Amino acid sequence: MPYIHEFGIIDCIEKNKDYDFYEPEKYNCISVDGDLIDEIYYKGFGDKMKNLETFAHNTNRPYKDLAYYGVTLIPPKSLKQFLNIIIEENAKYKSKELKELTKKICDAIKENKWLIHFGI
């Protein structure tokens, strides 16, 4: 069975709220194949992601990187860095899914909103 990572935009971030519930429809998530994320994570952007300022599950848990098995909240201030990582990797893979992720990140940047990531 294939596994996926999902990315969506949070319309209004709630401080102190736990985003532990799997709600991809609520955030209009797009899916990225887990095998693709694994491939580029371990051969590409993994080291770069370790400097990405994020939060794990809620805004009270600062984190660096994606919470691979959980929920990651990516604040507006980190979106350009995340976008650059995905664009650089997609230059190698030419993936439709990464192109959609690029668009999702750009939309969040334009709207100054948080991105949510549901790991596997």
Which residues neighbour 118 within 8 Å (Cβ) at sequence distance 6 or greater?
Answer: 5, 6, 7, 22, 24, 29, 71
Let me know how many helices (H) and strands (E) the chain has, helices first.
Answer: 4, 6
pTM above 0.85, yes or no: yes
pLDDT, tens only, 15-43: 989 999 999 999 999 999 998 888 877 77
Tokens found for residue 117: 């990531």
pLDDT, tens only, 51-84: 899 999 999 999 999 998 999 999 999 999 999 9
Q: Residue 5 and residue 32: Cα distance in Å, rounded?
A: 5
pLDDT, tens only, 103-114: 999 999 999 999
Closest CA to 20 of 77, 61, 78: 61
